[in-house]
Amino acid sequence: MEWLGILLISPVWGYLSARCFIQASLGVAQFFIHLVGFFKGVVPRNDNALYMGVAIFNVVLFSLLLIGGFWLLTVILPFGQTQIEITVYWVSAGISFLFFQKQVPSKICGSWRYATIPNALWVDSVKERMKL
């Protein structure tokens, strides 16, 4: 059972927990960006309110997945009992975090565009369709 934790569970959970953390953090940033857009009033307020609701949903969903995963692996299953499992987890989470971190600036810039430039989401959608 120990080797299963070292070779399978630690790397997979390192990847998934880093992803959940990045997504929850992006949700917090997007909520505040759309809050600024809501008070700025350039984009319709109901659009920014909808985006804030989606951001809150993302924060809650990915935070619950992160907390639930840690609870399942540490309380229910005997994971994280050895130092090597913990080390493999942190190495995997660190490497995954470095790769996921690259998407953060583009996501924040995109949210800022959608919050402050009218019809930016529609324009981006049309551009994507034109590529097909």
Q: How confident is the model at residue 83 (pLDDT cuts 50, 70, 90)?
A: confident
- Cα–Cα distance for residue pair 125/107, rounded to 1 Å: 15
Answer for the pair 59, 24: CB distance below 8 angstroms, yes or no: yes
Residue 6 has pLDDT above 90, yes or no: no
Residues 54, 104, 128, CA angle at the centre, nearest 5°? 70
pTM, full prediction: 0.84
Q: What is the pLDDT of residues 37-53, one digit of tens each?
A: 999 989 899 989 999 99
- Cα–Cα distance for residue pair 35/38, rounded to 1 Å: 5
User: Rounded to whole angstroms, what are the CA distances from 71 to 1, 6, 19, 88, 122?
Assistant: 19, 18, 17, 18, 41
pLDDT of residue 37: 94
Answer for the pair 94, 15: CB distance below 8 angstroms, yes or no: no
